[in-house]
Amino acid sequence: MATRMRLKLKTVFVLYFMVSLLGLIYALMQLGQRCDCTEHDMPKERTISRLRGELHRLQEQARKSEATRRPQKESSLPTIFVVTPTYARLVQKAELTRLSQTFLHVPRLHWIVVEDSQRKTPLVEQLLAKSGLTYTHLHVATAKERKLQEGDPNWLKPRGVEQRNEALRWLREDGKAREGVVYFADDDNTYSLQIFEEMRNTQRVSVWPVGLVGGMKYEKPVVERGKVVRFHVGWRPSRPFPMDMAGFAVSLKLLLDNPDSCFDGNAAMGFLESSLLQGLVTMDQLEPKADNCSKVLVWHTRTEKPKMKREDALQPQGLGSDPAVEV
């Protein structure tokens, strides 16, 4: 009886040993096999092409950021004089804050802010002082008969004319810079950093597309064989320079060589930009930037006038916002 039991146990043990051995052999055979998960099963070519795509994307990204990166030797760069007319209204501080913080990213930028007012206002004065930018603060009030009145359609009279001319007068004063680039940047537009590097080496007048302007997705100079031959605009393409203020920059030297050139406040609607440029360049001398005028790097955005319905209702009850809080 005992012998039979031992024999049975032995058989069970041998069987157990055999099964384990087979399991081990199977596992060892699987080690050398390819894995069946889809990720690793992807053909080599597909992986390589995916990596190539990724590399290309990263190279493109690096190339783009190169142009806007702060260069090592800033002092050798031409200065960009950015001229901004501005006037008091509810959104003024917001506009100037946004603008100043864009400009902080641009090396060698000198901001000329010209207030449309009888005197410099503390709001602009303090904003500039805290901005961290190199700046000049000027002011000149638009003559009453030239100023838009509440309710006037905004196309009725040109805006910011006397202010831009005041900046030109300042730039032409003795002892000021002799070289650089002048750009007329309104306070409500949107500027990419790239546009400043595009304009930096302007020889006479450089030009590029402007987005969201003139009832179009964009307006732009049309370039053929490196020259501007006409303009893609929705309205009066026959104007000498059918361009928005945001679409060109002028070399300071050219402005100094033509001391009488300025903006004409009496220019007909849409002819303000032409009134300055006419005396400075011809169409074939324009220098196309932004990849032969194929890229939109500045937008003629306009800020909605905030509604003050609640404020106006609460104020008579003494419940309006504190006037001491600057907005």
Looking only at residues 213 through 242 of this chain, which bind Mn ion when binding is defined by CB under 5 A?
A: none
Distance CA 75, CA 85 (A): 27
Size of interface with ligand UGA, in residues (CB under 6 A): 21
Distance CA 20, CA 73 (A): 73
Which region, left, alpha or beta, applies to residue 225 given φ > 0 means left and ψ of -120 to 50 means alpha? left
Distance CA 194, CA 1 (A): 97
Pairing of strands 134-139, 227-232: unpaired
Distance CA 171, CA 183 (A): 12
Residue 85 near ligand UGA by CB under 6 A = yes
**Half-sphere exposure of residue 119: CA atoms within 13 angstroms, side-chain side:** 2
Strand partners, 112: 83, 136
Site string for ligand UGA, 97-116 (x = CB under 6 A): -------------------x
> In terms of C-beta density within 10 A (0-12 exposed, 13-18 middle, 19 or more buried), how is residue 98 classed?
middle
Distance CA 266, CA 67 (A): 39
Taking CB under 6 A as the binding criterion, the range among 17-25, 82-90, 215-223, 224-232 that sits at the site for ligand UGA is 82-90
Tokens of residue 274, six digits = 């032409």
First to last CA, the chain: 104
Q: Which partner in Mn ion, ligand UGA, none is near 147 (CB below 5 to 8 A by kind)? A: ligand UGA
Q: Which residue is nearest to ligand UGA (CB)?
A: 160
Sheet with 248-251: strands ordered across: 134-139, 109-115, 80-86, 181-184, 248-251, 205-207, 287-288
Q: Which is nearer to Mn ion, 79 or 208 (CB)?
A: 208
Which residue in the set 154, 284, 304, 309 belongs to the binding site for ligand UGA (CB under 6 A)? Answer: 154
Minimum separation from the CB atom of position 162 to ligand UGA (A): 8
Chain centroid to Cα 152, Å, comes to 30
Residue 264 near Mn ion by CB under 5 A = no
Minimum separation from the CB atom of position 116 to ligand UGA (A): 4
* Cβ atoms 139, 167 nearer than 8 A: no
Q: Which is nearer to Mn ion, 162 or 197 (CB)?
A: 162
Q: Active-site residues: which are they? A: 273
How long, in residues, is the chain? 327
Taking CB under 5 A as the binding criterion, the range among 53-61, 87-95, 139-147, 184-192 that sits at the site for Mn ion is 184-192
Q: Which residue is nearest to Mn ion (CB)?
A: 188
Q: Which is nearer to Mn ion, 166 or 186 (CB)?
A: 186
Which residue in the set 186, 198, 244, 273 belongs to the binding site for Mn ion (CB under 5 A)? Answer: 186
Taking CB under 5 A as the binding criterion, the range among 23-31, 108-116, 182-190, 196-204 that sits at the site for Mn ion is 182-190
Looking only at residues 167 through 186 of this chain, which bind ligand UGA when binding is defined by CB under 6 A?
A: 186
Residue 187 near ligand UGA by CB under 6 A = yes
Site string for ligand UGA, 243-262 (x = CB under 6 A): -xx-----------------
Q: Which is nearer to Mn ion, 39 or 304 (CB)?
A: 304
Hey, how many other C-beta atoms are within 10 angstroms of the C-beta on 260? 5
Q: Which is nearer to ligand UGA, 238 or 324 (CB)?
A: 238
Distance CA 158, CA 160 (A): 7
What does the binding site for Mn ion look like in residue numbers (CB under 5 A)?
A: 186, 188
What does the binding site for ligand UGA look like in residue numbers (CB under 6 A)?
A: 84-87, 116, 142, 147-148, 154, 158-160, 163, 186-188, 244-245, 272, 300, 302
